[in-house]
Amino acid sequence: MSEEMELAIDKKALAQKYRLYYKICRNCGARNPPTAEKCRKCHSKNLRWKKRHRGMKK
């Protein structure tokens, strides 16, 4: 049972990594990888981190 629990935690951490940690272009709104320095669509350098909030949506 503990192995299943450990696997579930690993999956959750992996999902959070991909869902919460990326950059968004301020010009066109495209999603970019966390290592991006320029937007993949419009090549702007005006990027911001995705906002991360605790809790559920209302």
2-58 pLDDT tens trace: 677 777 778 888 988 899 999 999 999 999 999 999 999 999 999 999 998 877 766
Whether the predicted model's global pTM rises above the 0.75 cut? no
Give me the DSSP letters along 27-52.
TT--EE-TT-SS-TTT--S-EEEPP-
> Residue 34: its pLDDT value, please?
95
Q: Which structural domains are found in the chain, ordered by start? A: 2-49 (4.10.1060.50)
Q: How many CA atoms lie within 13 A of 53 on its CB side?
A: 4
> Residue 1: its pLDDT value, please?
57
